[in-house]
Structure 1
Amino acid sequence: MLPYAHRTDLSVRPRPYPAWRVRGHVAGTLPPYSINSDNQPEWLYLSPRTYRMMLETTRRRLLAGTVGLVASGTAVAGRVRSQSPDETTQATSSSPSNERPSTTVCAHYYPWYGPDSHWDEGYTETPLLGEYDSGHSAVIDQNLDWAEQYGIDWLSASWWGPNSRENRILATVFGDRIRETDVEYSVLYESLGRFDATDDGIDMDLPENRERLLSDLEYLQENHFRHPNYRRVNGKPIVYLWPSRAFRGDVVGAFEEVRAELDAEPYIWGNFVSPHAPTGADRDRVGAFDAISMYNPYALWRRIDADERSFASALSDHYHQWRAAAEGGETHFYPTVVPGFDNTEAGGDLPVLPRDPERFRDDCRSARKTGDSAVNTVVVTSYNEFHEGTHVEPTLEMGHALLEAVSDELATAEVTDPLDARASLELRFDRTESPPDDSRQLAFAANRIALRDGTTPLANYDVGAATGLLFGGGVYDSESDGARSWRWMGGSDGRCRVFFELPAVEDATALTVEGLGIDSGVRTTVRLDGREIGTVTLSDRWDTYELSIPNGSDP
């Protein structure tokens, strides 16, 4: 994502090729023009590199007698319709299905390309549509057609303010064209382009920042939220806040003020998931958002040892932890997948995550098993962020392979919630304390949790080590004195949740918890999978508390 340094070596604008050259040499591909408001053709911009590759691709098609990598599309006035799978010369097992389960696929979308916008900043691979203009109706139609065909239900569109080119496109031609489809859209709020961020982030205690946030959302309410294709969750219009971790100060209070002022309460979705395991502070903050996700799991890929484990495995383990953290804050969780990352053509020097369709399929299968059953959504980063090479939009080099992976592994597959296979232990404390110079709200230092059936041990969990456990809100980071390890529990609302394997609970008749109270006399209500099983009074010394589970886990 922006900002990018300007590439002076790419500052010469590509020029449109004459119609006879394009039509004569690339017959059968998408004609590089769209129909403007006066019903006249306007030529898309093709760089020399794009033109040469189109010629070479066409030559291979003619020699091989196959469809090749070029899109089989036909341009008509006002619409560009791709061939259906039945119309292609080669049937494939990855053709999109007409029968769709409940999984929703979202993709981040960038309407910022044009003859004087973005292409000169560099990009990896060559768009099948050439260096197009995001404001051309034919380009919009083709991308919406691909979204519908391959199961992308919803586009999260980059928005840089009321006076930006992106907004003009979204509010006019894009908004008009998407009405004719079943695709929905929402706004990706580019915060760094709207606030004067400092090295410490965006301070929401400053009145001018709160005023800007309210002003922008009031504009969105009037000009986007009321669009019939605008994406909502529980009736609330979605706003994706990027980068949400840059916000500082009373963020919760700022959101509450905005919600109180607007007619339509926004659903705030933040890219709050980091490449690290959630900390206790993270679990305390997730409740500020209606939903959380990771914008680009590439950051996680950079942290793993590829010789030790696969990206798909690391993604699964990581998302399980964040799914639990979100559940603790009663916040929705959206797993995200990325087909690759390469920003070298845009002047970056980060390691390249190769764009591999088969690896992407593995990652998709892994991510969809970490979803939230309340929303059944998986996010793709991105539809067309070519600067970072995260796009799934068809290219001359990759064809439709990445969209086919989206269709096969996400759009036509079910999301599985990892918490459905786990039991929840909830502790509710009647009070908490915050030690000096410590913002945490503490009640109980938990050392061990055990389950047994009569005298038979079923499970014994070391809370500090966290093996086999996932933690929701109100659970803080591991501590140790060498002899034992523990985690403080409490939270801003005096409630914490721990998730562990369900089979052990189904047969258990007793639960024991070992730990230390912050003070004597703290009363704690214990719930197992939503059912209250007892109340204990904590001691300020290490002690073991035991509760019966009548009739196992049956209600």
Structure 2
Amino acid sequence: MPRTSRTSPSRRTFLAGTAAAGAAALVGATAPAAVAASPGRVSRHTHIFYYPWYGNPDFYGQWRHWPQGSLTPPDDISANYYPVLGPYDSGDLRGAVAQHMRWLRQAGTGVLVSSWWGQGSYEDQQAEVVLEAAAKQGIQVAWHIEPYGGRDADSVVADIRYLTQKYGDHPAFHRDPERGNRTAYYVFNSLLTVDWSALHQVDDQAIVMAQTWDLSRIGDFGGVYTYDAIATANKPDWTGVAAFCADRGMVWAPSLGPGYIDDRAVPGNTTPTLDRADGSTYDQEWAYALDSGNGDAPPDWVSITSFNEWHEGTMIEPATARTPGTLEYLNFEGAYGRTGRRAETAYLDRTAQWAARFEAALAAHR
């Protein structure tokens, strides 16, 4: 995830440092077997990363995020794909954000994990918008605490208390009834801080997720996720972290995604591209993640990278082949054999099928 005006390493830098160089596109898709999504039902165990950081002149007063890479919206945007909604604003409650929540419900994802850059940040200012729109679709909102300047264990404890006090009474605020009605807080690039022992102050109200599978760095957390879809494509050995979490009552939430490309947002980047292969990559990553639990059990949650990280091309949000300007954009034509308008929502519908399969697997192990 490319960053602007931030003091921390970019998502691209992180991925370049952790993914195996030259990751090849996966082939031979493994389809969700014989489990259809139930219309209107969502999986509370399927979490998806959501980015409320976009702005345009109609709402924010200027472009935000879309111009990265020295591009000029609306024709040219900092993404290799172009959204069906165009370069939207994350504050557009009745327009883009309401549509996002309808699409998330279509995808069967019950919890969105909203990118959050600290108290008073732009993303914090959009939190009420996200919560309001999510509530109308029966979706819950958890939090992705990003590496804002000065973030450490003490500040994250303060952030959890702040978010709980400010938004905790909202009907869309995430609570997990299977884990004491606690809320999920994902901490991106958790390795930036060494000592996380302060997190135990909020054990009663928070499931704080470490973004690493280094067993020496997760003992103070309530769970583990991986975020990186490129790493998942390389099928890393997660047996140790799955067993570690199971033995300690921690949440194991492996991450998966449909692909990766950030060439337009970060010109000259060195991060490998992960081709979508018309959906085969997504299917393979889902299958691998669901098989990554402890023993024959599925993982506790899965975390999808992402709904709308357009800069890195990991989104399942609909993309269009009908684009403006002179730049060429990729699209979802051919995904799962679909073309035209049906191709635009191909990843939403496939997500719903996999989420239903995941819920069936969890039910079978209860």
TM-score by length of structure 1 reads 0.49
SS in 1 for 2:291: helix
Over the residues paired in the alignment, what is the CA RMSD in angstroms? 2.8
Query: Residue 101 of structure 1 contacts residue 413 of structure 1 at CA under 8 Å; is this kept in 2?
Result: no
**Counterpart for residue 368 of structure 1:** 290
Measure, in 1, the Cα distance between the counterparts of 2:46 and 2:202. Answer: 27
* Residue number among 113, 124, 142 corresponding to 2:99 in the alignment: 142
**Counterpart for residue 191 of structure 2:** 245
Query: Residue 191 of structure 2 contacts residue 217 of structure 2 at CA under 8 Å; is this kept in 1?
Result: no
Query: Residue 188 of structure 1 contacts residue 242 of structure 1 at CA under 8 Å; is this kept in 2?
Result: yes
Measure, in 1, the Cα distance between the counterparts of 2:130 and 2:319. Answer: 22
**Counterpart for residue 296 of structure 1:** 228
Change (3 A) 1:164 1:99: closer
Change (3 A) 1:331 1:378: same
* Residue number among 135, 141, 149 corresponding to 1:185 in the alignment: 141
Change (3 A) 1:135 1:94: farther
Residue 67 of structure 2 is aligned to residue 120 of structure 1:
yes
TM-score by length of structure 2 reads 0.72
SS in 1 for 2:219: helix
Measure, in 1, the Cα distance between the counterparts of 2:311 and 2:64. Answer: 12
**Counterpart for residue 264 of structure 2:** 345
Residue 202 of structure 2 is aligned to residue 259 of structure 1:
yes
Q: CA deviation at 1:323?
A: 0.8
Residue 80 of structure 2 is aligned to residue 158 of structure 1:
no
Measure, in 1, the Cα distance between the counterparts of 2:108 and 2:291. Answer: 18
Q: CA deviation at 1:158?
A: 0.5
| 2:64 partner letter | S
Measure, in 1, the Cα distance between the counterparts of 2:188 and 2:358. Answer: 28
Deviations 1:308-361 (A, max 9, x none): xxx4xx25xx23332113223331101211111111111123121112312211
Structure with more strand by fraction: 1
Structure with more helix by fraction: 2
Measure, in 2, the Cα distance between the counterparts of 1:124 and 1:4. Answer: 18
Query: Residue 383 of structure 1 contacts residue 390 of structure 1 at CA under 8 Å; is this kept in 2?
Result: yes
Query: Residue 229 of structure 2 contacts residue 259 of structure 2 at CA under 8 Å; is this kept in 1?
Result: no
Residue 219 of structure 2 is aligned to residue 287 of structure 1:
yes
Measure, in 2, the Cα distance between the counterparts of 1:153 and 1:367. Answer: 18
Measure, in 2, the Cα distance between the counterparts of 1:2 and 1:99. Answer: 34
**Counterpart for residue 340 of structure 2:** none
Measure, in 2, the Cα distance between the counterparts of 1:94 and 1:124. Answer: 33
Q: CA deviation at 1:107?
A: 0.4
| 2:194 partner letter | R
| 1:354 partner letter | D
Change (3 A) 1:5 1:179: closer
Residue 252 of structure 2 is aligned to residue 333 of structure 1:
yes
Structure 1 residue ranges (4+ consecutive) displaced by more than 6 angstroms after TM superposition: none
SS in 2 for 1:223: helix
Q: CA deviation at 1:98?
A: 2.6
Deviations 1:490-549 (A, max 9, x none): xxxxxxxxxxxxxxxxxxxxxxxxxxxxxxxxxxxxxxxxxxxxxxxxxxxxxxxxxxxx
SS in 2 for 1:232: coil
Change (3 A) 1:98 1:290: same
Structure 2 residue runs of 5 or longer lacking an equivalent are 7-33, 57-62, 69-77, 321-330, 333-343
Percent identical: 24
